[in-house]
Amino acid sequence: MTLKLPMYMDNAATTPCDPRVVEAMLPYFTETFGNPGSRNHAFGWAAEEAVDKARRQVAKLIGADRKEIIFTSGSTESNNIAIKGAAYMYQNAPAGSDKCRGHIITGNIEHKAVLDPCKRLEKEGFEVTYLEPGPDGIFTREMVEGALREDTILVTLMWANNEIGTINEVPQIGELCHDKGIIFHTDATQWVGKMPTDVNTDNVDLLSLSGHKMYGPKGVGALYVRRRRPRVRLVPLTEGGGQERGYRSGTLNVTGIVGLGAAAEISLQEMDSERERLLKLRERLEGEITKQLDTTQVNGHAQKRLPHLTNISFGFVEGESLMMACKDIAMSSGSACTSASLEPSYVLKGLGVGDDLAHSSLRLSLGRWTTEEEVEYAIGNIVEAVNKLRQLSPLYDMHKEGIDITKIEWQAH
């Protein structure tokens, strides 16, 4: 089989839509185009039926009841509705009072779609604890327990990290929160559709998921809102037609929702075999790269990680040059472009990875259509590029000669 270049190894950023999903969506653009809110004619009823089917498909994927699914535009919106909506509902003091409105616990390596709503709440009088993980990147029940206060109202921690794939102790943290009567939200964008999920045995109250991270369309997602034990209530952020139990007003994105439902059903059916296949490919990719190259480091916990993702730092190369030398592979680097400069990833920094290694790291995330041939190509390409770049590095030469370059006293200019 001939390789098609460039190849896609950035499935943690977004996934292609499964053709079966597209097919399921098509009739809802032109034929069954009704507004599910039109309760008095057949066009509306047909659309409502389609939305209801999708609601059941998404609920089944996470072990929820269909009434507990709120459709949104994606995980960013789901996180905002969950975090701000719960904070405003369960606050201890009204807006504008001098007292702390409530204490929230999160992590410092969360996605911006969690960190920024938390920062907003801080400005409004809530207090937020940003837990720091150990070098393995994992948040445990013990860490949350250590940060609890009398006035803690909400804990929000992601299920699996989008940069390093590490898996947090969600069921245990959820159990702790339930014991203490604290609402527990998890951003499960990278987890759902890939790993078995049951909101009841996993003790989750609020859960965010997104279509385009699980082979569905972009611009559609869902928020799970627990209805029993406890019945979670939220202050809505958007007001209007009162759709989605009043939590998310606005005419439903029927085509997107149908696509999300289809994606959920396919993911549930294929999850076990897909996980196994991708783990083998990831092990081959990661194993060969770290075997053929010295001075590399896999970031995050060695086992407690998503099976399709790896994040590797390469000593003595510059991340941007490495990306340039591997232009045929679409992947992410450990640097984030801000307006003027390259900033090392705050997630890697949060684990204690130094700036140099953070800059020289790559995130490769495999997906439903990744082939063995692509993995072999990526191994060859990355190993060759790193070797070439290191040949040009005097620091690497010194390292090979056994000089500890961290101990060198550089001469001042």
Q: Which residues form the catalytic set?
A: 337
Segment 386-405, which members bind ligand PLP (CB under 6 A)? none
What backbone torsions phi and psi does residue 80 show, to the nearest 5 degrees? Answer: -60, -45
* Amino acid symbol at 52: D
Interface region with ligand PLP, contact rule CB under 6 A, candidates 28-36, 73-81, 127-135, 283-291: 73-81
C-alpha to C-alpha distance for 388 and 54, rounded to whole angstroms: 50
From residue 165, alpha-carbon distances to 75, 78, 109, 256 in Å are: 17, 20, 12, 27
Q: Minimal CA–CA distance to 285: which of 164, 358, 378, 180?
A: 378
Tell me which DSSP letter residue 361 carries.
E
Taking CB under 6 A as the criterion, the residue among 162, 166, 253, 361 binding ligand PLP is 162
Q: What is the nearest approach in angstroms of ligand PLP to the Cβ of residue 12?
A: 6
* Amino acid symbol at 76: T
CB nearer to ligand PLP: pick between 57 and 72: 72
If one asks whether residue 187 binds ligand PLP (CB under 6 A), the answer comes out as yes
List the structure tokens of 231.
């019945």
- How many residues appear in the chain? 413
187 with 156: CB under 8 angstroms? yes
If one asks whether residue 118 binds ligand PLP (CB under 6 A), the answer comes out as no
Q: Minimal CA–CA distance to 304: which of 141, 139, 131?
A: 139
Q: Could you give the count of Cα atoms lying within 13 Å of 93 in the half-sphere of its Cβ?
A: 14
Q: What is the nearest approach in angstroms of ligand PLP to the Cβ of residue 251?
A: 19
Taking CB under 6 A as the criterion, the residue among 15, 57, 75, 129 binding ligand PLP is 75
What backbone torsions phi and psi does residue 180 show, to the nearest 5 degrees? Answer: -95, 0
Tell me which DSSP letter residue 203 carries.
T
If one asks whether residue 57 binds ligand PLP (CB under 6 A), the answer comes out as no
Q: What is the nearest approach in angstroms of ligand PLP to the Cβ of residue 283?
A: 23
C-alpha to C-alpha distance for 160 and 170, rounded to whole angstroms: 9
Cis before 6? omega within 30: yes
Q: What is the nearest approach in angstroms of ligand PLP to the Cβ of residue 410?
A: 39
CB nearer to ligand PLP: pick between 125 and 261: 261
If one asks whether residue 164 binds ligand PLP (CB under 6 A), the answer comes out as no
Interface region with ligand PLP, contact rule CB under 6 A, candidates 20-28, 70-78, 198-206, 304-312: 70-78
CB nearer to ligand PLP: pick between 296 and 310: 310
Segment 227-266, which members bind ligand PLP (CB under 6 A)? none
Q: Minimal CA–CA distance to 308: which of 260, 343, 270, 344?
A: 270
If one asks whether residue 310 binds ligand PLP (CB under 6 A), the answer comes out as no
Segment 77-116, which members bind ligand PLP (CB under 6 A)? 111, 113
Cα torsion 92, 109, 8, 284 to 10°: value is: -130
Q: What is the nearest approach in angstroms of ligand PLP to the Cβ of residue 42?
A: 32
List the structure tokens of 55.
């609601």
If one asks whether residue 129 binds ligand PLP (CB under 6 A), the answer comes out as no
C-alpha to C-alpha distance for 298 and 285, rounded to whole angstroms: 12
Q: Count residues binding ligand PLP (CB under 6 A).
A: 13
If one asks whether residue 76 binds ligand PLP (CB under 6 A), the answer comes out as yes
Segment 330-359, which members bind ligand PLP (CB under 6 A)? none
Helical (H) or strand (E) element with 325: helix 319-325
Q: What is the nearest approach in angstroms of ligand PLP to the Cβ of residue 386?
A: 27
312 with 362: CB under 8 angstroms? yes
Q: What is the nearest approach in angstroms of ligand PLP to the Cβ of residue 241?
A: 22
CB nearer to ligand PLP: pick between 91 and 186: 186
Q: What is the nearest approach in angstroms of ligand PLP to the Cβ of residue 174?
A: 18
Letters for 192-231 (x = contact with ligand PLP by CB under 6 A, - = none) are ------------------x--x-------x----------
CB nearer to ligand PLP: pick between 174 and 221: 221
**In the complex, which residue's CB is closest to ligand PLP?**
74
Give the CA radius of gyration of the chain.
Answer: 23
* Amino acid symbol at 169: E
Report the interface residues with ligand PLP, using CB under 6 A: 74-76, 111, 113, 158, 162, 187, 189-190, 210, 213, 221
